[in-house]
């Protein structure tokens, strides 16, 4: 079956520092990977959509300068939160899908706490 792993599951960083999170698809080819932030106030905020061999599409209020993403192959993607501040807290989810299917499979998320 389709599985998506994310690590770390939980991380704490000091305000102004950066942290990197990873997403791994197992059992299928993740042609596109979407990164979301989930918080109590906003259910699913799409940060960016990354499709292999295409430019990464960032949503309004999210930039490559703040959330650089790498999607080097069909099983792996990473995103970094640069200069994290309190408003960056939340559960970061990776949703992966194949090129032919329309079902998005999520990882367990990386919970970011900022002190």
Partner 1 sequence: GDSVTQTEGQVALSEEDFLTIHCNYSASGYPALFWYVQYPGEGPQFLFRASRDKEKGSSRGFEATYDKGTTSFHLRKASVQESDSAVYYCALGPNTGNYKYVFGAGTRLKVIA
Q: Which residues bind partner 1 (CB under 8 A)?
A: 4, 6, 34, 43-44, 46, 49, 57, 91, 93, 95, 102-109
Pick left, alpha or beta for residue 98 (phi over 0 → left; psi -120 to 50 → alpha; otherwise beta). beta
Backbone angles phi, psi at 66, to 5 degrees: -95, -35
Q: Which is nearer to partner 1, 3 or 15 (CB)?
A: 3
- Which of 18, 46, 26 is CA-nearest to residue 107? 26
Min dist CB 22 to partner 1, Å, is 14
Please, which residue, 5 or 82, has the CB nearer to partner 1? 5
Over the range 40-70, which residues count as b (16 or more CB within 10 Å of their CB) and which as e?
A: eeeeebbbbbbbeeeebebeeeeeeebbbbe
Provide, rounded to whole angstroms, the least separation between the CB of residue 109 and partner 1. Answer: 5
Decide whether 82 or 91 has the Cβ nearer to partner 1: 91
Residue 83 C-beta: closest distance to partner 1, Å: 25
């Amino acid at each position: 079956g389709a599985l998506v792993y994310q690590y770390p599951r939980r991380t704490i960083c000091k305000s102004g520092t950066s942290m990197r999170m990873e997403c791994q698809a197992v059992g299928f080819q993740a042609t596109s990977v979407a990164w979301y932030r989930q918080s109590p106030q906003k259910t699913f905020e799409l940060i960016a959509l990354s499709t292999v061999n295409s430019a990464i599409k960032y949503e309004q209020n999210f930039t490559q300068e703040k959330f650089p993403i790498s999607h080097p192959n069909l099983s792996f993607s990473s995103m970094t939160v640069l200069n994290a501040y309190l408003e960056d807290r939340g559960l970061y989810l990776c949703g992966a899908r194949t090129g032919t299917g329309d079902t998005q499979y999520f990882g367990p998320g990386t919970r970011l706490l900022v002190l």
